[in-house]
A and B are shown apart, each in its own frame.
Chain A
């Protein structure tokens, strides 16, 4: 008798962002190629992983329903839902599942959400900000869309290592914070370098007629940071953690307003 069912080959890779390796398993070779291309520079060793996702690649559905992003937790299991993906993640078992079509954007969103959930419990966060390393120190440049994140990234001189022009990754460590490079890009469409450095300052971006750095009151610093944090979970405990993490951050890291004209001389003030 011939075998009626053939074993499907399971393919996998490890995406390591912020020092956290996430293994992604799929049976779709084309999807694996998409991931290898999307996360080039952030692919880790095949061995250790802190989280493992099985991805079920589904046929395209048009139009993609616009239901927003919903991230909820029940009995230790997170449910992540948007129009283009459905995912589950169980921190205790370190495993999860993702249903999506063969595209790089849905898993990108899932990874961002999972990283925010993990970081929120550790005093870290993802923030709408560019970040870069100069002279061994990392700097964040936060602001809403149009504030100048991509501009200041584009103006960076050659001795600056760009971590991201869009979403910064900040991990709390001992008495300070570490900023990591991310593959999450903005208009620059250039992946950050997969390196890290101790965080020296957070600048709130504003465009003006001169280059200058001004101190800002702690309350404004906290409010501005909170306004720039990425957070998706509908979970009171984690919201409270994020809130207190932001205040702890502004008590330890200098926060200033960086007003700049769009030319490279602004970098004379940094580092």
Chain B
């Protein structure tokens, strides 16, 4: 079974404020507020760490959840975030010009 890689889209703006991660699409100015799971996914989306490792090392550590169920939910979430162009997903590692792209200040 192929692995899924996720990377932050450098063309969005992101800020974490008081524990809330907010992201604005540069394309259409849509504002998204990420929940805790989505925030972990966003913060871990470096393009080189496979999604199953993010789930195992970050999400399952944070929440009491079965790994298989967590991976399924994470894949669904990743595809949803990708549909809004917040992240990119690929079955190959995604080169990132700047690992911290998008999030700033």
Residue of A nearest to B31 (CB): A226
Contact A244 B13 (CB under 8 A): yes
* Residue A223, interface by CB 8 Å: yes
Choose among A217, A223, A234, A236 the residue that contacts B31 (Cβ–Cβ < 8 A): A223
* Residue B105, interface by CB 8 Å: yes
> B13 — which chain A residues lie within 8 A by C-beta?
239-240, 243-244
Q: With A and B bound together, what is the CA distance between A247 and B15 in angstroms? A: 8
Q: With A and B bound together, what is the CA distance between A222 and B22 in angstroms? A: 9
* Residue A157, interface by CB 8 Å: no
> A227 — which chain B residues lie within 8 A by C-beta?
31
Choose among A219, A231, A239, A244 the residue that contacts B18 (Cβ–Cβ < 8 A): A219
* Residue A218, interface by CB 8 Å: yes
* Residue B17, interface by CB 8 Å: yes
Q: With A and B bound together, what is the CA distance between A239 and B20 in angstroms? A: 20
Chain A 130-176 interface residues, beta-carbon cutoff 8 Å to B: none
Residue of B nearest to A222 (CB): B17
Contact A219 B105 (CB under 8 A): no
* Residue B2, interface by CB 8 Å: no
Contact A240 B24 (CB under 8 A): yes
Interface centre among A223, A227, A236 (most CB of B within 10 A): A236
Contact B27 A217 (CB under 8 A): no
Q: Identify whether the interface residues of A are mostly helix, strand, loop, or mixed.
A: helix
Contact B29 A219 (CB under 8 A): no
Residue of B nearest to A251 (CB): B17
Contact A219 B27 (CB under 8 A): no
Q: With A and B bound together, what is the CA distance between A247 and B103 in angstroms? A: 13
Contact A247 B17 (CB under 8 A): yes
Contact A219 B20 (CB under 8 A): yes
What mask results when residues 229 to 258 of chain A are scored 1 for a CB within 8 Å of chain B, else 0?
001001011011011100110100000000
Q: With A and B bound together, what is the CA distance between A226 and B13 in angstroms? A: 13
Q: A244-B104, A244-B105 are contacts. A219–B26 as well, Cβ < 8 Å?
A: no
Contact B22 A219 (CB under 8 A): yes
Residue of A nearest to B104 (CB): A244
Distance in Å: Cβ of B8 to nearest Cβ of chain A: 13
Contact B15 A218 (CB under 8 A): no
Distance in Å: Cβ of A135 to nearest Cβ of chain B: 30
Contact A223 B27 (CB under 8 A): no
Chain A 17-72 interface residues, beta-carbon cutoff 8 Å to B: none
* Residue B11, interface by CB 8 Å: yes
Distance in Å: Cβ of B27 to nearest Cβ of chain A: 7
Q: With A and B bound together, what is the CA distance between A75 and B82 in angstroms? A: 29
Distance in Å: Cβ of B87 to nearest Cβ of chain A: 16
Q: Can you give 11 A-B contacts (C-beta < 8 A)?
A: A218-B17, A219-B17, A219-B18, A236-B11, A237-B26, A239-B13, A239-B26, A239-B29, A242-B29, A244-B15, A244-B105
Residues of B within 8 A of A (CB): 11-13, 15, 17-20, 22, 24-29, 31, 33, 104-105
Residues of A within 8 A of B (CB): 217-219, 222-223, 226-227, 231, 234, 236-237, 239-240, 242-244, 247-248, 250
Which 4 pairs, one residue from A and one from B, show the smallest C-beta to C-beta distance? A236-B26, A219-B20, A243-B13, A240-B13
